[in-house]
A = this chain, B = another copy of it.
């Protein structure tokens, strides 16, 4: 939970110019104790609701991708027509409800550590993601 001057600092430190648009997106994404999941269109909607500024879709895409590159966001591997992002960048996993397309965190205490007894020559593991699909009982 940071204030504008702190986002400005954070952006500058990452080598990103603190533009009006980037600061607004920071506020929408990070001005809360709770982390959350979103798609680009969710975010566009949130900005439209919350903000008095209008940010073009292209800028939203650009910003989200640079935030992801800087490690402020994580992309979640959900097989769907839309890409999901997570403001929780710690190592954790997800429940996915295909019905209402909702994601829920599974944090590390709620799942056993995953050990993989196989490797591919010349490759190293970059990430391990578990997606638990759920449906109505």
Contacts and interface: CB of A to CB of B under 8 A. Distances in A.
A106 B110 contact: no
B130 A125 contact: no
Interface in A48-101: 75-79, 83-84, 95, 97-98
A118 B131 contact: no
A137 to B, nearest CB: 5
Interface of A: 75-79, 83-84, 95, 97-98, 104, 106, 109-112, 114-118, 120, 122-137
Most chain-B CB neighbours within 10 Å: which of A114, A124, A136? A114
Nearest to A137: B124
Given A76-B79, A79-B76, A79-B77, A122 B106 contact: no
Nearest to A81: B83
A78 B79 CA distance: 6
A123 to B, nearest CB: 4
CB-CB nearest 5 A-B residue pairs: A77-B79, A110-B118, A123-B134, A126-B133, A127-B133
Contacts of A129: 130-133
A125 B120 contact: no
Contacts of A77: 77-79, 131
